[in-house]
Amino acid sequence: MAEQQRGKLKIFMGYAAGVGKTYQMLEEAHELRSRGVDIVIGYLEPHGRKDTIAKAEGLEIVPRKKIDYRGSQFEEMDTDAILARHPRVCVVDELPHTNVPGSDRVKRWADVEVLRDAGIDVLTTMNIQHLESLNDQVRHITGIRVRETIPDWVVRQASEVVMVDLTPRALLHRLERGVVYGPEKAQQALQNFFRESSLVALRELTLREAASEVEHRIGSEGTRAAAEEPIPRQQRKHHKILVLVTADPKTAMVIRRARRVSDFLGAECFAVAIQPSGDLSDVPEAEREAIEKHLNFARNLHIETRILEGADAASLLIDFARRNEVTQIFVTRPTGRVWLPLLSKDPVQRIINRAKDMQIVIVSDREPVAR
């Protein structure tokens, strides 16, 4: 079988609903069509917005698939039908969407991967708050824990990430005029994501993310390095990051942060959990489950995971780090009491005390901003 070129992914990234991502994507779809490109709409979510609906006119739409779930009927993108139709380019709105149970794949981004595997280019949309590694920061800004997330590697694979911008003021006007949501949902939205301060912060986050995505695609010689004094090559040390995985719920936050830093530094990243050797009956089941959940989470973010066995967690981790030439260990904040740190049994505290030959990063909680 001939090797097929994988389809390209282009993401229209926004900072909130209503900035005009879908509209801009459809504009591009029309432009491609006018140039004779075979393009279809695989999924569109116009949210009843009149301008967006008008923009979709004249584009071929692949009908959605109907799925029954608990007595109701839901509609999802019909990935098989798109594969059968096999256009050059497919428009797929709302990349972070979670499919209804009973669908072939849990996430829409996984459907998009399937389309790209078949050599179909995909145009898609998403908002910054769905990027996994920013989940804690977004919660810090908006007070909301976003559940539908996209692993960063999906976005990094995109050939282009384009920022769809609109000033918060203009967006708030749109919201007030009822362009974005119906009246009830608009009121609800104004309470959280659509607070002006949240919007400004999310917008800044998106601009910086878009800039990093551009820089990532240019390569490491970014604008700043070109325009200002470059860092001498010999100072560029190769970094390896190790994350300590425990049952502590804050571990997810540490994993996200480590993923983000290692992506930006171009460093390798491992996650390691430590369990007592042999008899596991000492470990409460809830704890084992939490650790397994965190390891799975790390794997979903393309972080290699290991489980080490032994009694002394701190020593095991430090030995592993030294053997593997780790340069940075990421941990949660120690929980022990402040006045006895040197006698602490908390493994995190012991790692800080003993791993003096490498950098230790204690990741902070990012609690929502008090209002």
Partner 1 sequence: MTREIHRKTPEELLREVQAEEAAAGKGHLKIFLGYASGVGKSFRMLDEARRRRERGQDVVVGVVQPQVSPEVEALLRKLEVIPLKAVGLGTAVDVDRLIRRHPAICIIDGLAYDNPPGARNPTRWQDVQDLVDARIKVIGSINIQYIAELREQVEAITGKRVAQTVPLSFIKAADEIEIVDASAEEPLERSPEQQVDAQKREQQLSKLRELALLLAADVVDQQLSDYLERHGIRQDFGTQERILVCMTPRANIQEMIDTARIIADRFHGELIVAYVNQPEISPDDQATLQEKLAIARTAGARIEILDGEDPVDTLLEFARSRGITQLFIGHSQRAGIWPRIRGNPVDRLIRLSRGMDVRVFPH
What φ, ψ does residue 152 adopt, rounded to 5°?
-60, -30
| Closer by beta carbon to partner 1, 103 or else 349 | 349
Q: Measure the CA–CA gap between 163 and 16, rounded to whole angstroms.
A: 12
Closer CB to partner 1, residue 69 or residue 264?
A: 264
Per CB under 8 A, 29 contacts partner 1: no
Q: Is 231 in the site for partner 1 (CB under 8 A)?
A: yes
How many alpha carbons fall within 13 Å on the CB side of residue 282?
7
Is 100 among the residues that bind partner 1 (CB under 8 A)? no
Binding mask 258-277 for partner 1 (x = CB under 8 A): ---x--xx------------
282 touches 276 (CB < 8 A) = yes
Q: Which of 210, 295, 318, 326 binds partner 1 (CB under 8 A)?
A: 210
Distance of closest approach, residue 51 Cβ to partner 1, in angstroms = 8
Q: How far is CA 43 from the centre of its chain?
A: 21
Burial 157-195 (b: 16+ CB within 10 A, else e): ebeebbbbbbebeebbebbeeebbbeeeebeebeeebbb
Pick one of 16, 141, 301, 303: the residue that binds partner 1 (CB under 8 A): 141
321 phi and psi, to 5 degrees? -60, -45
Instruction: Figure out which of the listed residues 223, 277, 300, 324 binds partner 1, where binding follows CB under 8 A.
Output: 223
Integer CA distances (angstroms), 216 to 161, 210, 220, 260, 360, in order: 11, 10, 7, 13, 26
Q: Which is nearer to partner 1, 145 or 169 (CB)?
A: 169
Residue among 50, 70, 233, 356 that touches partner 1 (CB under 8 A): 356
Q: Which residue in 187, 188, 197, 277 binds partner 1 (CB under 8 A)?
A: 197
307 binds partner 1 (CB under 8 A): no
- In degrees rounded to 5, what are phi and psi of residue 262? -70, -35
Q: How many residues bind partner 1 (CB under 8 A)?
A: 68
Nearer to partner 1, 212 or 275 (CB): 212
279: exposed, middle or buried (Cβ count in 10 Å: 0-12, 13-18, 19+): exposed
Nearer to partner 1, 103 or 262 (CB): 262
Q: Which is nearer to partner 1, 66 or 173 (CB)?
A: 173
332, exposed or middle or buried, with CB in 10 Å at 0-12, 13-18, 19+? buried
Quick one: tokens of 93? 């709105």
* Residue 249, helix vs strand vs coil: coil
Binding mask 144-183 for partner 1 (x = CB under 8 A): ----------------x-xxxxxx-xx-------------
Nearer to partner 1, 170 or 280 (CB): 170
CA distance 341 to 338: 6
CB 99 within 8 A of CB 87: no
Binding residues for partner 1 (CB under 8 A):
10, 137, 140-141, 160, 162-167, 169-170, 196-197, 200-201, 203-205, 207-208, 210-212, 214-215, 217-218, 222-229, 231, 235-237, 257, 261, 264-265, 328, 333-334, 338-339, 341-342, 352, 356-367, 369-371
